[in-house]
Amino acid sequence: MKIPTYVKLANIPNKGKGLVSKKHMKKGEMVLKFDQGVTIRPNSTASITALQIDEDTFLDSEPTQIRDFLNHSCMPNVRIDFDKMGCFSIRAIKPGDEITFSYVTTEYDLAIKNEAFQCFCGEKNCIGIVKGFKHLNKEHQIKLKPLLTPYLLRKLH
């Protein structure tokens, strides 16, 4: 597994391993490029860390990649961009900050494979049980619009 020099794997309270920045990043920077070990799988064989690209198309990793350690937060600092195949900062990131994205901005229905989980992000806007985009109310879905993948944008309309 290739780990960029500006991030490290660390133990995050309540979350297990996570990705922590070692440098300052500005809003809009590419934080990770998804160019290694990209494996496309249907939901039936996709791993728990796979990212949903479309209805039954998931970006999985073979072997494990650093992107697999991106944890969820309800107040994320990166978003996933499948057109540019990477994740991009949506606000400034400081050294020591955990790098997170909101799983409900890529995953439509985590409950379908029993992958819903309790969030421990501790943010004021924490959604509690993370079940996927499908399970959010319309108002919340609309609020997430700037972060959504093309697939979830289609689900919104």
Contact positions vs Zn ion (CB under 5 A): 74, 119, 121, 126
- Judged by beta carbon, residue 61 or residue 100, the one nearer Zn ion is 100
Question: Quick one: DSSP state of residue 156?
Answer: H
Please state, in angstroms and rounded to a whole number, the distance separating the CA atoms of residues 106 and 67. 14
CB 52 within 8 A of CB 108: yes
- Judged by beta carbon, residue 93 or residue 119, the one nearer Zn ion is 119
CB neighbours of 112 closer than 8 A, spacing ≥ 6?
43, 132
- Judged by beta carbon, residue 21 or residue 100, the one nearer Zn ion is 100
The least distance separating Zn ion from the CB of residue 42, rounded to whole angstroms, comes to: 28
Through-space distance between the first and last CA atoms of the chain, rounded to whole angstroms: 38
The least distance separating Zn ion from the CB of residue 124, rounded to whole angstroms, comes to: 10
The least distance separating Zn ion from the CB of residue 122, rounded to whole angstroms, comes to: 7
